Amino acid sequence: MAQDFDRAMREALADAVGFVAGALAGWWLGRQFGIDFIATTDWNARQMAGLVLIVGGCGVGRFVARKLMLKDRP
């Protein structure tokens, strides 16, 4: 029972850290391309591309964090 709780807590921490770090990385990447989704109120193709970068960063960050934080655990 304690091992299940420990594993669940590690997974939750990996998800949270990966999600936030990935979102920030996606936002930063968008800003490097000149697309700042957060700062504008327009809804056009550029803003949608910025949103896709942020959402994609969330997924990639979560995947990478899980691989790094849970690699040596069963």
pLDDT tens column, 16-50: 999 999 999 999 999 999 998 888 888 899 999 99
Taking the model in full, what pTM does it have?
0.82
DSSP strands (E only) in the chain: none
Q: Using an 8 Å Cβ cutoff, are 30 and 53 in contact? A: yes
Pairwise CA distance, residues 67 & 17, whole Å: 12
